[in-house]
Amino acid sequence: MSRPQIGRTIRRLRAERSLTQQALAARLGISASYLNLIEHDQRTVTASLLFKLTEALGVELAALSGQAERQLETTLREVVSDPALALEAVPEEELRALAGTAPNAARAVLALYRAWRVAREDAAGISLPSGRRVILPNDEARDFFHERANHFPALEAVAERIGAEIGTRPSEMNHAVAERLRGRHGVQVTVGPLPGAMRRYDPEARRLSLAEALPRESRGFQMAFQLMLLEAREAVDALLSPAPSTPDAAALIRVGLLNYAAAALLMPYAPFMHAASELRHDVDLLAARFGVSFEQACQRLTTLQRDGARGVPFFFLSVDPAGNIGKRFSATSFPFARFGGSCPRWVVHTAFQTPGALRVEVAELPDGAAFLCFARTVTDPALRWGEPRPTHVIAMGCDVGRAADVVYADGLDLNAARVGIGLSCRLCDRADCRSRAFPPLEHRLVVNPEETGVTPYRFERAGRG
C-alpha cells in the first residue's frame, strides 16, 4: 500500500463523512495528533489499524488502497501532458494533491477534457442538443465497469439461481441452456448459415439463429446470453439506474452486463474460483473444464471479487494489431493509459510476434511497481474465403506479489526477468529505451548532430544545464 496515497485517501473519506479528526481518532482509539500525522503520510498504518479504519469509515479494505486516486492521478498526468493543450508543466505533487484531496474537481477536469477531445476530433464539429454528452459511449461503458471493479453481486445471484435450477455439469451446460430456452421460453435454437451476423434472435418466431462458423464454446456463450436477455432483464435494469448519459452508452452497458451474467452462468462463482486456485490459473485448463474459450475464462477471472471470497486481482485487456483497446477490466492497481498508446515493450504488444503462443513478462513501471503479465493472440473465424481473420491479443496481469498463485510464474526469476515499461512514451522518462516513439513531454530534448545514439531521442530533465 502506497504511503503517498493512503493518507490522502483517509482524509478524503473522513471529510466525505463529515467527521472531524477528533471524532475519527476516538473511533480508532488513537490520538487526533497521531491521525493527523497519518493523514499527512508521516506515519505508516498498521494492519490492525487498517481494519479499524474500514469499520470506522464503512468501506472495504480495497477503498483504502489508494487505487482510485492513483488511476485518477495517472489520467490527469496524461491530460496535462497532451501537447495540443500547450500547458506549462504541472508538478507531480500538485497532480497528487488534486487527485487525493479534490477528486470531484479532478473528475470535472477530465470531463471537460473528454468533451474537448470529442469536439476537436469531430471534423464537422459536434452537436449536443441535450447538453449532456461529455464522454463517448464506449468510454462511459468502460468507466461503468471499472468503477464497480467489474463485479455485480445481483447478476451473480441470478446466474446461481438459474444454474441451481438447471442442475447440470459444465460439460453438459450447452445442451441444458438450449433445453431451458426451448422448454421455458419456447425459443428454438438453430445453427446454420447466417450472412452478416454471428447471432440473430427473432422474437416473433421465437428463434435463435447461430452462425455455423462459431466454435462450440461461442455457441454456448451466445445461448447463455440469450437466456440472460430473457431472465436477467430486471436485474440489469436495476443496475442501469440512474440512467447513463446517452442511449448509446446505456445499450453498450446493457450488453456488457448481459455478457457478465452469461459468463456467471457458464462459470459459476464458487466452482470456478475453486478450479482457478486448484489449477493455479492455468487458463487453458480452466477453459477446457468449463467448456468456454480462452478469452471467456480470462474475463471471468477478473470478476472474482466477492466480499469474503476474493480471487487473485487481475487486469484484462483486449488489443488489436493497431493498438486499439477493445475491452479493459481491472481489479488491480495497474495504471492504464487512457488517452493514448501504451508501451511497445509491454507483452500486450509483443505477443503479436508469436501468434498462438502464450508469452509471459514481469513488467516493471517507472515507480518500481511490478506485475506478472501473460498474453496470447486469439483469432476469430473468417465468415468467408478471402476474408482476413480478425486477430487480437488477450492479456492478463496481477501484482507480482501474487505470482506464486499463477502457474505462468513457474521457473521465472521475478527480479532478474523484469522488463521496464512505461504508461506511454510521452509519460515515460526511461532514457535507455530503444522502442520509444516520442520524447517525454516534461523533459528537454538533447539533439547532437555530431553523434547518433542507440535510442531515438536523448533528453534531460527540464531545468538542468
Strand 359-364 to 418-420 pairing: parallel
| Beta-bridge partners for 376 | 394
pLDDT score, position 433: 75
- Interior CA angle at 291 toward 290 and 292, to 5°? 95
Q: Report the Cα–Cα distance between both ends of the chain, in Å, rounded.
A: 36
pLDDT tens, residue by residue, 176-221: 999 999 999 999 999 999 888 889 999 999 999 999 989 999 999 9
Q: What pTM does this model have?
A: 0.72
Give, in order, the Cα–Cα distances in Å from 341 to each of 80, 322, 338, 346, 369: 16, 10, 8, 11, 20
Domains, in order of start, for the chain: 3-134 (1.10.260.40), 153-296 (1.10.10.2910), 312-425 (3.30.450)
At 12, the pLDDT band (50, 70, 90 cuts) reads confident
DSSP 183: H
CB-based contact 407:286 (threshold 8 Å): no
Q: For strand 207-211 and strand 199-202, is the pairing parallel, antiparallel, or unpaired?
A: antiparallel
Q: What is the pLDDT of residue 339?
A: 56
The lowest-confidence range among 39-48, 333-342, 366-375 is 333-342
Residue 398's DSSP bridge partners are 372
Residue 284 host element (H or E): helix 283-290
Rounded distance between C-alpha atoms, residue 115 and residue 136, angstroms? 9
SS3 per residue for 209-232: EEECCCCHHHHHHHHHHHHHHHHC
- Environment class of 147 (CB within 10 Å of its CB; exposed 0-12, middle 13-18, buried 19+): exposed
pLDDT in tens, 103-122: 888 888 887 887 776 665 54
Q: Which amino acid is at 391?
A: T
Banded pLDDT at 456 (limits 50, 70, 90): low
- pLDDT tens-digit readout, 224-272: 999 999 999 999 999 998 888 888 989 999 999 999 999 999 999 999 9
User: Which residue type sits at 113?
Assistant: Y
19 burial level (CB within 10 Å; 0-12, 13-18, 19+): middle
Q: Grid coordinates in use for 12?
A: 478524503
Mean of the per-residue pLDDT values for the chain?
84
- Which of 381, 373, 393 minimizes the C-alpha distance to 319? 393
Q: Report the distance separating Cα 370 and Cα 400, nearest Å.
A: 6
Q: Please report the sign of the dihedral spanned by the C-alpha atoms of residue 421, residue 423, residue 426, residue 428.
A: negative
Cβ-based neighbour number of residue 10 at 10 Å: 23
All three cell numbers of 209, joined, read: 439463429
Average pLDDT (286-310) is 93
| pLDDT over 50 (residue 302) | yes
Q: In this model, does residue 382 exceed pLDDT 60?
A: yes
Say how far residue 361 (Cα) sits from the centre of its chain.
Answer: 18
* pLDDT of residue 346 exceeding 70: yes
Alpha-helix residue ranges (DSSP H) falling in 40-170 = 47-57, 67-80, 92-101, 103-121, 137-147, 153-166
Place of cell 530503444: 434
Taking the C-alpha atoms of residue 17 and residue 19, their distance in angstroms, rounded to an integer, is 5
| pLDDT of 101 | 74
Task: For residue range 146-160, list pLDDT tens digits in order.
Answer: 888 889 999 999 999
**Bridge partners (DSSP) listed for residue 188:** 207
Question: Does the structure show a pLDDT above 90 at 73?
Answer: no
Residue 341 Rama label (left phi>0; alpha psi -120 to 50; beta): beta
Spatial CA neighbour of 81 closest among 329, 423, 373, 387: 423
Inter-residue contact 189 to 220 (CB < 8 Å): no
Instruction: In whole angstroms, give the CA distance from residue 458 to residue 450.
Output: 13
Confidence at residue 124, expressed as pLDDT on a 0 to 100 scale = 36
Contact of 301 with 408, CB cutoff 8 Å: no
DSSP per residue, 371-398: EEEEEEEEEPPPSSTTPPPPEEEEEEEE
Q: Are 9 and 69 in contact (CB under 8 A)?
A: yes
For residue 356, give Cα distances in angstroms to 224, 322, 394.
Answer: 27, 18, 11
